Amino acid sequence: MQPTMSTLRVLSLYAILFIGLVQCTSAQNQKVEDLSIQEFKALVDKTPTKIVLDVRTDGEVAQGIIPGAIQADFLGDAFQQKVATLDKNKPVFVYCAVGGRSSKAAKQLYDMGFMKVYNAMGGMNAWKAANYPIVKK
């Protein structure tokens, strides 16, 4: 027995719904979005209300920081307390020297309830290599 046209339509509809559900679930499971330094800067520039978070040490920050960024040393004892005071509804753009610490910090921020968290791959080294502006703290 061959399926009727209406049966094929229903099956097609179910297939489309299933694919959509899988894609939505995958998007919800994405905790942190890793961005190239160019994507990171472009999104920072076009996001009016945001938090730019530098998770490097005081010594590293003394060499320069992204304009408008705040520091919370990921390796310091007060990291959890400092970031707990930030607005969890604002997108957070996290960077470190090369991307390792910021990746860990970004996951931790997401786990703490921050809604949108972005990690700068390549960190401050990539930022400087792209000749983007920095300010001395």
Q: Taking Cα atoms as reference points, which of 26, 51, 137, 42 lies closest to residue 102?
A: 51
Do 45 and 108 lie in one domain? The reply is yes
Q: What is the pLDDT of residue 132?
A: 98
In degrees, rounded to 5, the angle at the alpha carbon of residue 65 between the alpha carbons of residues 38 and 85 is 100
Mean pLDDT score of the chain, rounded to an integer? 86
User: What CATH number did the domain enclosing 54 receive?
Assistant: 3.40.250.10
Do 105 and 60 lie in one domain? The reply is yes
Over residues 62-75, the mean pLDDT reads 97
Six-digit token pair at 58?
């005081």
Do 108 and 60 lie in one domain? The reply is yes
Do 80 and 97 lie in one domain? The reply is yes
Residue 135 lies in a domain: no
Whole-structure pTM value: 0.78
Reply yes or no on whether 24 is catalytic. no
Do 42 and 85 lie in one domain? The reply is yes
| 69 class by beta-carbon count within 10 Å (0-12 exposed, 13-18 middle, 19+ buried) | buried
Do 70 and 3 lie in one domain? The reply is no
Do 53 and 21 lie in one domain? The reply is no
Do 50 and 105 lie in one domain? The reply is yes
Q: What is the pLDDT of residue 23?
A: 47
Q: What is the pLDDT of residue 2?
A: 62
Do 79 and 117 lie in one domain? The reply is yes
Active-site entry in 53, 96, 117, 124:
96
pLDDT in tens, 4-24: 656 545 555 444 544 554 444
**Residue 128 pLDDT greater than 80, yes or no:** yes
Q: Which domain holds residue 10?
A: 1-30
Do 59 and 87 lie in one domain? The reply is yes
Do 50 and 22 lie in one domain? The reply is no
Over residues 28-50, the mean pLDDT reads 90
Q: In the chain, how many domains are there?
A: 2
